Chains A and B, each alone.
Chain A
Amino acid sequence: MERSLSLRAAILSLAILAGLIGAWHFATLPTTGAAGDVDPEYAALVSGSAAEGQKSAFPTPADVGATLWKHLKDPFYVRGANDQGVGIQLAYSLGRVLVGYGLAALVAIPLGFLIGMSPLVYRALDPFIQILKPISPLAWMPLALYTIKDSGISAVFVIFICSLWPMLINTAFGVASVRKEWLNVAATLEVGPLRKAFRVILPAAAPTIMTGMRISIGIAWLVIVAAEMLVGGTGIGYFVWNEWNNLSIGNILTAILLIGLVGMILDVALARTARLVAYRE
């Protein structure tokens, strides 16, 4: 039953994919008669008439497939500052995300723990968190660029800021809402504060904390593309922006696909970790 369902779902997924690619293929078919010389045509079309131009500027699935294959064959080449392999660009982005996210976790989880333990601190800090949380992380960018004066570190800072809130809020909430019964068990056993924190509160709150971490990594990966478009230099966001300036839609589509894939991998990795600390009541 279970197996046949997932099998049928997989078949349906493949059918949908085939349908989408087919539709794409036929939508882009008529104007791509001369497939060999794409680039000059693109260039001509930028200044050319709009209606016909946009249609033919869009590559066919086969073009994108070829571009994707080209990138995947040699992802790590470096040919000057503005021409580096898509693998290297992704690695830059991932590096920034992991550093910013890691620092945010180092700050948010212990701080959230303290906030959650004390109803007083919880209440006192709540207005600050509520105001800071909805600020778009990119709004911090000018401030970061002004104070830090380094575009790379500024991007990391923006990732730090946007990853901070979900982890902080979830940790505080998870710690504050540990079941009273479990705390009573610890109390009647005269468990010391450190042992209580690590053996009772942390495992009890771990699933909620992991949910926060999962939300954060998702947001961080969303934000890094935009941040790198702003600061430029390296990274997959910069790559997309650069290819937009080159009007290389095939490269952009390749990058979009890879951004989605990496985001999915990050999410799955955290979901797996979350399963390790999950418990059934």
Chain B
Amino acid sequence: MDARVKPGHDEGPLMTKPLISIEALARRYPKHGGGETTVFQDVWLPIRKGEFVCLIGHSGCGKTTILNVLAGLDQPSAGVVIVDGREISGPSLDRAVIFQGHSLLPWMTVMQNVAFAVTSRRPDWRKDKVRAHCQKYIDVVHLTGSEHKKPAELSGGMKQRVGIARALAIEPKMLLMDEPFSALDALTRGSLQDEVRRICTATEQTVFMITHDIDEAMLLADRIVLMTNGPEAKIAEIVENTLPKDRQRTDIHKHANYYALRNHLLDFLVTRSKTFASEIGAKGYDPRHPPVVRPGAKPTAVETEPPKAASA
């Protein structure tokens, strides 16, 4: 792991072919007295394959809107989302969504909910094949034995796990999660975070996740995208996770970089998210390349050229 402060302009080999790319995204609403309010604007963010990206920002800055645009459920006022070199035009089975609030279909059992998604993805599969495939993912989220329960008979954590199983079972290219654990108690949240991390690292799943929880972001994310407060929210900076890849919930706080990273994120949420506008006035700010920071990593040198063994 090399430690450096990237100037943010490196379009290295990893940056050249993102799986999905948010470009110049903006969302405006007509104001009451006339004119427009801009919720966010000029949001640029490439997401690479296999990467886990967390988006943090205060309530109302437009996080859900960005996720819905990525999902194809919402249209931006300006800008595009590019997947495979093409602008997305609507929802796709390639981008599975885990909604805030489970959004299971309450008249279907756990198995039927998952199977509904799988048959959408694989209309040609026979019933027993669909069933076996669903069972695999129900087992992955540790819901074996609850296949025939209705969502109303499940606890909040179990419902959220069904939502995860449903999303994973369609084997999407990308997983979009909107505060998936925010409604859960700390214990359930912890174990679900562990499960998601295990599954996503094992399958090298590309994930875009919204969260309010700094510790969750530090555990799960490779990159943490910080948004300023709305209106006219923008990406303030991108924080690279400086904790080791094999971090565990139980020992994450023992790592040398833990407090540097945590304090940086906290400081941003508490003060800098408000004052960022004046901060960039002094330094100059390129929305296409927001500053990338690596808290805790010793800035041994500001490299002019990234070394070949860049962190992957």
Chain A positions within 8 Å of B, measured between CB atoms, are 181-182, 184-185, 187-191, 195, 199-200, 203-204, 206, 277, 279-281
- Closest beta carbon of chain A to B41's beta carbon, Å: 25
Contact B101–A187 (Cβ < 8 Å): no
| C-alpha gap A190/B72 in the complex (Å) | 11
| C-alpha gap A277/B93 in the complex (Å) | 29
Q: Which residues of B contact A206 (CB under 8 A)?
A: 107
**Which residue of chain B is the closest to A191 with respect to CB atoms?**
B120
Flag whether B78 is at the interface (Cβ < 8 A).
no
| C-alpha gap A279/B68 in the complex (Å) | 28
The listed residue (A185, A187, A195, A277) touching B105 by CB distance below 8 A is A185
Per-residue interface assignment for chain B, residues 102 to 121, with 1 indicating a CB less than 8 Å from any chain A CB and 0 otherwise? 01011100000000110011
**Which residue of chain A is the closest to B93 with respect to CB atoms?**
A190
| C-alpha gap A243/B91 in the complex (Å) | 67
Q: Which residues of A contact B117 (CB under 8 A)?
A: 189
Contact B116–A199 (Cβ < 8 Å): yes
Q: Which residues of A contact B121 (CB under 8 A)?
A: 189
Contact A181–B150 (Cβ < 8 Å): no
Per-residue interface assignment for chain B, residues 147 to 171, with 1 indicating a CB less than 8 Å from any chain A CB and 0 otherwise? 0001110000000000000000010
Contact A190–B105 (Cβ < 8 Å): no
- Closest beta carbon of chain A to B223's beta carbon, Å: 24
Contact B107–A189 (Cβ < 8 Å): no
Q: Which residues of A contact B107 (CB under 8 A)?
A: 203-204, 206, 277, 279
Contact A280–B71 (Cβ < 8 Å): no
Given contacts A190-B92, A279-B106, 13 further A-B contacts (CB under 8 A): A185-B103, A187-B72, A188-B91, A188-B95, A188-B97, A200-B105, A203-B105, A204-B107, A206-B107, A277-B107, A280-B150, A280-B152, A281-B106
**Interface residues of B toward A: which range?**
20 to 34
| C-alpha gap A181/B98 in the complex (Å) | 11
Contact A189–B150 (Cβ < 8 Å): no
Flag whether B181 is at the interface (Cβ < 8 A).
no
Given A189-B93, A189-B116, A191-B120, check contact A184 B150 (CB 8 Å). Answer: no
Flag whether B44 is at the interface (Cβ < 8 A).
no
Given A203-B105, A203-B107, check contact A187 B91 (CB 8 Å). Answer: yes
- Closest beta carbon of chain B to A272's beta carbon, Å: 17
The listed residue (B73, B151, B170) touching A187 by CB distance below 8 A is B73
- Closest beta carbon of chain B to A177's beta carbon, Å: 15
Q: Which residues of A contact B151 (CB under 8 A)?
A: 281
The listed residue (A184, A199, A280) touching B103 by CB distance below 8 A is A184
Contact A188–B73 (Cβ < 8 Å): yes
| C-alpha gap A189/B73 in the complex (Å) | 11
Q: Which residues of B contact A181 (CB under 8 A)?
A: 99, 101, 103
Can you list 26 pairs linking A and B with CB atoms under 8 Å apart? A181-B99, A181-B101, A184-B71, A184-B103, A185-B105, A187-B90, A188-B72, A188-B73, A188-B92, A188-B95, A188-B97, A189-B91, A189-B93, A189-B116, A189-B121, A189-B170, A190-B92, A190-B120, A195-B120, A199-B116, A200-B105, A279-B106, A279-B107, A279-B152, A280-B106, A280-B152
Q: Which residues of A contact B235 (CB under 8 A)?
A: none
Flag whether B96 is at the interface (Cβ < 8 A).
yes
- Closest beta carbon of chain A to B81's beta carbon, Å: 14
**Which residue of chain B is the closest to A179 with respect to CB atoms?**
B103
Q: Which residues of B contact A199 (CB under 8 A)?
A: 116
A-B CB proximity, top 9 nearest: A280-B152, A181-B103, A189-B120, A279-B107, A203-B107, A187-B91, A188-B91, A279-B106, A188-B97
- Closest beta carbon of chain A to B150's beta carbon, Å: 7
| C-alpha gap A185/B97 in the complex (Å) | 8
Q: Which residues of A contact B90 (CB under 8 A)?
A: 187
**Which residue of chain A is the closest to B92 with respect to CB atoms?**
A190
| C-alpha gap A206/B105 in the complex (Å) | 13
Q: Which residues of A contact B91 (CB under 8 A)?
A: 187-190
- Closest beta carbon of chain A to B68's beta carbon, Å: 8
- Closest beta carbon of chain A to B100's beta carbon, Å: 9
Q: Which of B59-73 contact A (CB under 8 A)?
A: 71-73
Q: Which residues of B contact A189 (CB under 8 A)?
A: 91, 93, 116-117, 120-121, 170
**Which residue of chain B is the closest to A187 with respect to CB atoms?**
B91
Q: Which residues of A contact B99 (CB under 8 A)?
A: 181, 184-185
| C-alpha gap A181/B106 in the complex (Å) | 12
Q: Which of B158-196 contact A (CB under 8 A)?
A: 170
Q: Which residues of A contact B97 (CB under 8 A)?
A: 184, 188
